[in-house]
A and B are shown apart, each in its own frame.
Chain A
């Protein structure tokens, strides 16, 4: 039954993309309902009254909010295939730690680059690159953060790659020149259908961000 799983999302949301990749990895059919975040629907406000944000996964009518919580839920319910988290408790704690690090740092640091100017923007660029380099060090020689396969940390992080062109263009810098390993990891992830079919066109994201800036009154 297709409407047993519903996803309220915004095509450009790197958080929503995480849920879409997880659903694709598990081969789960679902109904995707695009949300207008500038004019929030009654359904969104009803399903996420606390934060009023996307993504919201709705399974058998019950909402699950916060993308990393939704991804863990998907992994636990459809636990017969493509495990996203390690089974070992220590490895699991490390995967949760790094996904949490991505959540705490990457969006805000990228925003410093696209929303600020001058010295603040320069500081933002430096911190953003440093964070990516820290993640590169954590990846080490592994093909994926999950080891041989795409895992929880890969899914939590690769979605930001679709925003890199926008951030580079606004910030006037090259991420690849500073973080080549990161870029080659992202491209490796993109060889997976679940990722390639989910991440939107980078130029479309750039247009979206320019529009968002106007609406938010950011020059």
Chain B
């Protein structure tokens, strides 16, 4: 019996991108359903009644919510190829730690910087750069966060790269100057089809954010 896999998502969500990259890495066919978050579908509300957020993976009718939980689920179900999780429990704990760190810090700090001005804006910018420097330190000299192979933490972080142009433009800084090693890792990840076929164009992301800003400022 064929697996039925459905993904409720929005094209611009870095969290949704994690799931799309994971599914692509495993070669899983799925039905992608773009969601309108200003007008949430009955399906989304039924499948994620607690948080009402995307992404939601629906596997044979059963929902899995929260992107890092979904990626681990995908790894455990489609376990015949391309394992994401390190085999050593300590390395697994470290990968989970940094995904959790990125979950807690990146988007919240971006929001602090985004529409603020003056001191608040500068503080947000400083914090955002510091977050990426910490992530760069965690990479060290490895090819990928997963060592020789592209893994859970690579999947967790790479989607943020298509938002870098947006962060740079609003923050007036360059990731290449601040985190050159991280940018080299981004280029290596983009050599993988799962990443280059999934991540949207970073100018498209910027246009989306600009449009959001206009809407918020006109309220």
Which of these binds chain B: A68-76, A120-128, A177-185, A188-196? Answer: A68-76
Interface size class of A (residues with CB under 8 A): 20 to 34
Q: Which residues of B contact A50 (CB under 8 A)?
A: 101, 134
- Contact pick for B64, options A62, A72, A97, CB 8 Å: A97
B93 touches A73 (CB 8 A): yes
Stretch of B72-80, B120-128, B195-203 on the interface side: B72-80
Q: CB of B70 within 8 A of chain A? A: yes
Q: Which of A69, A89, A97 contacts B93 (CB 8 A)?
A: A69
B90 touches A59 (CB 8 A): yes
Contacts of A92 in B (CB 8 A): 72-73, 76
Query: Which chain A positions have C-beta within 8 A of B69?
Result: 93, 96-97, 100
A101 contacts B by Cβ under 8 Å: yes
Q: Is the interface of B mostly helix, strand, loop or mixed?
A: helix
* Smallest CB gap from B60: residue in A: A90
Q: Which residue of B lies closest to A104 (CB)?
A: B51
The 0/1 profile, CB within 8 Å of B marked 1, for residues 85-96 of chain A is 000011011101
Smallest Cβ-Cβ distance to A90: which chain B residue: B62
B66 at the interface (CB under 8 A from A): yes
Tell whether A66 is near chain B: CB-to-CB under 8 Å: yes
Nearest-neighbour CB distance to chain B for A61, whole angstroms, equals 11
B96 CB contacts on chain A under 8 angstroms: 66, 69, 72
Min CB distance, A62 to chain B, in Å? 6
By DSSP majority rule, is chain A's interface helix, strand, loop, or mixed?
helix
- Which residues on the B side are within 8 Å of A93 (C-beta)? 64, 69-70, 72-73
Q: Which residues of A contact B64 (CB under 8 A)?
A: 90, 93-94, 97
- Taking the complex as formed, is B168 at the interface, i.e. its CB lies under 8 A from any CB of chain A? no
Q: List residues 165-185 of chain A with CB under 8 A from any CB of chain B.
A: none
| A23 proximal to B (CB < 8 A) | no
Interface size on B, residues (CB 8 A): 21
Residue of B nearest to A96 (CB): B69
- Asked if B92 is an interface residue, CB under 8 A from chain A, the answer is yes
Residues of the A chain whose Cβ atoms lie less than 8 Å from the Cβ of B215: none
Q: Is A47 an interface residue (CB 8 A)?
A: no
Inter-subunit contact A76/B134 (CB<8 Å): no
**Cα-based distance from A64 to B134 in the complex (angstroms):** 17
Please, how many angstroms separate the alpha-carbon atoms of A73 and B65 in the complex? 22
B50 at interface, CB cutoff 8 A: yes
Cα distance, A93 to B93, chains bound together (Å) = 17
B90 and A97 contact, CB distance less than 8 A: no
Q: Is B100 an interface residue (CB 8 A)?
A: yes
| 8 Å CB contact of A73 from B73, B76, B92 | B92
**Bound: A97/B65 CA distance, A:** 7
B97 at interface (Cβ–Cβ under 8 A)? yes
Tell me the minimal C-beta distance from B91 to chain A in angstroms.
10
Which residues of A lie under 8 Å from residue B76 when comparing CB positions? 89, 92
B50 and A90 within 8 A (CB): no
Q: Is B118 an interface residue (CB 8 A)?
A: no
Of B69, B70, B92, most buried by chain A (CB within 10 Å of CB) is B69
In the complex the two chains form, is B92's CB within 8 Å of A76's CB? yes
A-B contact pairs, 28 of them (CB 8 A): A50-B101, A50-B134, A62-B90, A64-B90, A66-B96, A69-B97, A70-B93, A72-B93, A72-B96, A73-B90, A76-B92, A89-B73, A89-B76, A90-B59, A90-B62, A90-B64, A92-B72, A93-B69, A93-B70, A93-B72, A94-B64, A96-B66, A96-B69, A96-B72, A97-B64, A97-B66, A100-B66, A101-B50
Q: Which 3 A-B pairs have the closest CB atoms?
A: A89-B76, A76-B89, A93-B73
A contact residues vs B (CB 8 Å cutoff): 50, 59, 62, 64-66, 69-70, 72-73, 76-77, 89-90, 92-94, 96-97, 100-101, 134
